[in-house]
Structure 1
Amino acid sequence: MNNPSPEFLRQQQEASNEKTPPQRLAQLASISIELAQLVAQNPSAPGELLQELSAQEDAIICKNITANPNTPVEVLLELGAEFPEELFDNPIFPLLSLERPNWIDTIPFKTLVALLQCDQTRISFLKQVGNCASDRVRWQVAQHPKMPIAVLEVLSRDRALDVRCAVAINSKASVAILEELSRDRESQVRCAVASNKQTPIDILEELSRDRKRTVRRAIVGNPKIPSSILEQFARDRAWQVRCAVVENARTPISILQGLSSDSQWKVRHAVAQNRKTPSQVLADLLNDPEWQVRRVVAQNRKTSAKTLADLSDDPEWQVCCAVAEHQKTPSRILQKLSKARNSSIRRALAKNPQTPISVLEKLALDADEAVRQNVANNPKISSSILEKLSEDKAPYIRHVVAKNPNAPASMLEKLALDANEEVRWTVVNNPNAPVSVLEKLALDADEDIRVALMKNPKTPTSVLEKLAIDTDRDVRLTLAKNPNAPVSVLEKLALDADEDIRSTVSKNPNTPVSLLEKLAIDLDWRIRYGVAQNPQTPVSLLEQLAHRDTMIHEAVAQNPGTPISLLEQFAKDSEIKIRRAVAQNPGTPIALLAQLSRDRMVSIRCAVARNSRTPISALEQLVQDSESLVRCAVARNKNAPLPLLKKLTADSNSSVRERAEKNLRDISQSDNC
C-alpha cells in the first residue's frame, strides 16, 4: 500500500513555506496538481508563476490564486468571475479603488456580475459600481436587492432608460423614488413603477390616468390594484386594457358579464375563454358575430351541453371541431358530427373518449388517415375496431395497434410478421406478446428488434442464449448489461472476444462467484476492475485483487463488501482518488469516516460530508469547514441532523443555504407522507 513518502511530505512543506525561493516553487508546481495547489496558496509565489498556473483547469488552483495577494491584478479580476468570494476576501481588493482611478470600469463584465450576485457584496462596493461608465453594469446594480436607497436615488435619475426601469421595479425602491419615477418622461419607466408590488395605491391611482395604455395595462397586473381601478379600467378607451381586466383573477363576475357585450371582439373572446365566466354568459355568446369567440365558447369547460348542441350547427368548421372535442357534447350530437364533410371535424371526434363505439367503428374506415390514427389512439377503442385497424394500409396505424396493451395474442402474432420494422419492434415491447412471437422475432434481421427482446422480462432463456452468440456486438453488449440475464447466458458472454462485453459481464450483479473468479485473472485490467466493483464479489476475491493488482485499488475501495482491514489501508493511501473512494463507500466504518473528514483534500472531505454513514460529530466539524463546497455537501446529506441543516440555512454562501433549505423541505414532506 502506498503511504505518503517522506520526500512527498517534504515537498508539501516546501510548497507552503513562504521562504521557499521562486525557482523552487516553480519546480514544485510542475511535479503534481497537489503541490501546484499549495504553491498557488503561497503568498510568496511570484506573480508570473501565479499567472502561468491560472491557465490550468484545476478549480482549487484557480481558487487559491484568486485569494493570493501576490496575483497580478488582471489575472485576479479575470478569475473573480468564478471565485467572487475569494476576490472579495483578497486583501489587495479594497486597495484597488485607491490605486487605480476608474478601476470599476476595468473589471470584466462577467466578474462584476459575479461580485454583485455574491452574498459578501459590500455596500461600499455597490456604491462604487453605481458610478460605473457601463450602462449594462449600472443596470445590474439597479436591480440589486441590497442596493442602498441613496444609490437608488442617484440611479433613478440615470440617463439610461434601462437603468431607471430597473430602479422602478426594485422592491427596495422608496416611495419617494417611485413617486419621482411615476412622472418619468418614458412610458417604460412608468410601466415598471405600475408593475412594482411595493408601489403605494395612491401612486397607482395617479398612474391609472396615464395617457399611455401600456402603463394602465401594467397596473391591471399589479396584485395591489384596488377594485375601484378595475371597475374604472373596465370602461377604459383602450381594448387592450379592458382585455387585461378580463384576464385578472380578481375581476368580479359582474364585470365579466358587462364586458361580454363589449364592442371589441377580442374583449368578448377573453370573456369566453375565462374559466370564471358563468355558463349563462357563455350561452349568450353562442351567436357572437366572430367565429373565434364562438370557438372558445365551445372550448370552455363551463359551457353547457345545450349550448354545445346549438353550436354544432355553426357554419364555421373550427367551431364544430371544438364541439366535437368537448367531453360534455351529447352522444346524439357526436353521431351527427360523424357525417361532417370536413375531415378536421371527424379527426376531433375520433379523439374524444366520449365518442360512442358505433361512431368509432364508422370512423375506423374513414378515408382520411389522420382520422383513423386518432381512432387507434382513442382509449375507448374496442377489440373489433383494433382488429380492423391491425390490417390498415398505413404503417403508423398498425404501430399504434401493436402498442395497445389490450391487443390480443393472435393479433400480435400477425403483426410480428409485418413488413414494417417499427411495427415489429412495437410488438416486442407489448406486455401481451406471447413467447412464441418472441422466439420468432429473435431471428429478425433488424438488430433494434433483437436488442428490444432482451429488455422484455418474458423473453425465455433459450432465446437469450441464442442472442448471446449474436453476430451484432450491440446485441451482445445489451444482453451483458441485463441484471436478469441467466447464468448460462453470462457464461457464454464471459468468453466473448470483445473486452467491453467481458467487462460488462464482470459488473453484472447476476454473475456467479465461479465466473467472477475466472474474470478476475483476465489479461485486460478493465475486466478485473469490473470484478472489483461487483457487489457480489466475495471478500476473499477482493483481498486477492487488492494485493496483486494496484491498478484496481480504487474499485476495491469503492466496493461495499471490502473488509475493514483493507479500507483502513486504503484510507492512508497517497492517491487522492483511492482515499475518496473509501470516503464514498457506504460500508466504510464510522471511525474511518471521522478520520477522513480531516483530510487536506477538499474532494475527500466533500465525499465524507455526503456519506449517509458519517457520524454527527464529523458532520458538526464539516459544517464549520472553510470550503463552501464541503458545507454544501453536508447540506445535501439526507441524514444530517435537523439542527445542523437549520444552522446551514444561515450560511454565508447562497448555494449552501439553498441546499439546506431544500433538504429541510424534502425531510418535512417525507415526514408528512
Structure 2
Amino acid sequence: MNHVLNGLAANVALPSELVDRLIADADAATAGVLAGREDLTHEQALALVSRDPDTAQQLAREGRLTAADIDPATQPDAALTLLDRRAGNPEWARVLVRDPLVRNRERLAACAGLPSDVVETLAADPDVRVVAELAVWTTPDRAAVLARHPHAEVRRSVAANEAAPPAVLAALLTGGRLPPARWCLVCDREETPFVHPPECPRPDCDLLPGESCDGSHDSTVDETRQLALRNPATPTEAVVAFADHPSIRLRRLLAARPDLPPEVSERLATDRDPGVRADLAENPAIGATLIRAMAGDPDHDVRRGLARNPRVPLDVLGRLAGTTRIGPTLLPRVAVASPPEVEELARSSNPEVRMLLAQRRDLPPEIRDTLAADPDAKVVKSVAPHPGLSDATLRATVDRHGVRVVAAVAANPDATPALLADLTRHEPPVRKALRAVARHPRATAPALLVCLSDRDAGPLAAGHPALPPPVVEELLTDTDPRTAEAAAANPSLPLAVMSELVPRR
C-alpha cells in the first residue's frame, strides 16, 4: 500500500488532471479512496471502474454511476446497490434472481419494489437464507404467507418485519394459530437433540454458540419471540403475557417496549432481575409516580436508567446524581429543560447536577459564564467547550483547574490561536489537548509544530491546512505512515510536489 498516494487521492486540492493520472495507475487501496472523492466526474468514475472493477459498487452507492453504466451480469454488486436505492432497472431483478451466488440473491431479496414474478421466485428459492431475507422486507400479504413457512428460520425473519400484520406477529410470538415448523438451521445439519458448543472445532460451521434443537426448534423459536418483542408492530395485548415469562431476555425486551400498560410496568418494576428493572427504568412509557418509586432501587444500573429517562422529574434526577455514577453526558431530561428549570439546575448545590447542565451547548450567556467560574473542576470541564466563552474566561479556567480542563478548553470552537498555542506548551503536557489543538480550525503553525511531536496528535496536525508547506512536504517521508498519508492529503501541499508524486505514464 502506498500511503502517500492514498493521501493524495483524498486531497481536496488535487487538480482534475492529477486525479486522471492517479486513476490510471491506482491500486485497489488508492482506487477505493478515489471513489470517495466528491468532485469525481462521471467520466473519471467510468475510468476508475475500468481500472478497478471493485469500485463500481461504491461509485453506484455514492451516485457516481447510473443504471446506463451497469451490466447486472458482470457487475451484480453495483446493480444490487442501485436496485436497493431504487435507481436501477427493474428488469435487472430477473437476471439477478438466477444468480448462482446465494449472497447476491439474498441482497436482491432485501430490495423493495421488485416485480411480482421475481418475488415469487425468491419465495421459492432452494436456499432458505434467501427466503428468510425476503421475509424481513416483504409486503404484509407476503409476510402472512411466509409466517406459515415450514422452516423456522423464515418465520423468525417474519417476526422482524415491521410491515407484517399484527395478528401474524402475535401468532409468531405466542405460537398459536400456526402449523408447527418442520425444520430449523440446527436440525437441517445435526441429529437432534443437539446443542452447539461454545467453542466449535469445525472451521466451516456457522451455527452460533448455544443454538439448539430438541425437535421443537427451541433456539430459533426463542429468537423469533425476541424479534417479535422488539417489533413495534406486535400488538400490546400479545406482549403483556411475557411479564412473568421465565426467560430474563424476553422480560428485558418487554420492559423496553414503549407501549407498556401501567399495570405491566408496575409488575416489571419489582422483577427479581436487575437487568429487567434497568431496561424498564429508561423506558419513556413509565410515569413520574413509578420513577419515584424506583429511585431507591439498590442496583446502580437501574438508577442510571432512571437518570436517562426523558420523563424523570428534576428533583428525582438531583437525588440520582448524588448516588449514581452518570458521567459527563447530556441527559434527555436536561436537554429539554425549560428556561426556569435551567436556572434551577444552575443553582443546585450538587456539582454533579451542575455538571449535567453544563453539557448543554445552548445555555444563556449568564448561566454559561457562571458555570465556567464554578469552583468544581468537573463542572468547568463540561462547560469549557461551550461556544461563546471569552478568551479571558477560558484562560481563567486553566489557571484555576490546570490539567483537568486543558483538553476541554482546547476543544472550544472560539479558542483563540494564541490560547491554542499556549495550551500546547502547558506544563505538565496534556496529550489529549494536543489532539484537540491538531483538529482545531483556528490552530496556527506554532501550535501545530508542537503537536507533530505527539504520536497521536502528529498525524492530525500533518493534515492541517495551516501547517507551512515546507513542513508538509518534509512529512511525506515520515516514518509513521499515518503522518505521511495525512501530509499528502493536506491541501497546503504545493501543486508542484503533488505533480511529482503522481506517477506519469
- Rg larger for: 1
Q: Which has the higher contact order (CA 8 A, sep 6+)?
A: 2
TM-score by length of 2: 0.49
Name the structure where helix makes up a greater proportion of residues: 1
TM-score, scaled relative to structure 1: 0.39
